[in-house]
């Protein structure tokens, strides 16, 4: 008998948060409607803060959301970003390096 088949595994608890996106209910205040009351399509563009909310929910991950939004705004303003720019962003905003480099940045890169 193979060794791998005998070992018990812990049951999956669903999709890991690091691998998922947050989509609020369609009728939520967090999500802007893309049609008016007569169901006519409106402008179909999301703002930067709305997109970041999908990655780090304002409701559940407020601190990560604020850090990611600030970083994305900085990226939006500059053509290119060096390591020194990132270090300056982290230190000037009083962000923990561990939080930024281990939680926020890897998730932004994946998405």
- What pLDDT was estimated at residue 70? 96
How far is it, in rounded angstroms, from Cα 17 to Cα 5?
28
In this structure, the dihedral spanned by the alpha carbons of residues 101, 94, 72 and 82, taken in order and rounded to 10 degrees, is -60
In this structure, the dihedral spanned by the alpha carbons of residues 31, 32, 34 and 35, taken in order and rounded to 10 degrees, is 110
**Angle 58-21-104 (CA atoms, 0-180°, nearest 5)?**
65
Predicted structure pTM score: 0.74
Q: Write out pLDDT tens, residues 37-75.
A: 777 777 777 889 989 988 998 888 899 999 999 999 999
Confidence band, pLDDT 50/70/90 cuts, at residue 105? very high
How far is it, in rounded angstroms, from Cα 101 to Cα 83?
12
């Amino acid at each position: 008998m193979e060794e791998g088949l005998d070992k018990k595994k812990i049951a999956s608890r669903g999709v890991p948060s690091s691998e998922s996106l947050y989509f609020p209910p369609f009728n939520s205040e967090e999500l802007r409607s893309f049609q008016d009351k007569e169901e006519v399509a409106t402008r179909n563009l999301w703002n930067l803060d709305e997109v970041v909310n999908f990655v780090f929910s304002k409701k559940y991950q407020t601190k990560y959301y604020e850090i990611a939004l600030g970083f994305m705004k900085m990226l939006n303003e500059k053509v290119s970003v060096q390591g020194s720019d990132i270090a300056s962003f982290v230190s000037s905003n009083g962000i923990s390096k561990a939080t930024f480099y281990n939680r926020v940045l890897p998730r932004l890169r994946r998405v």
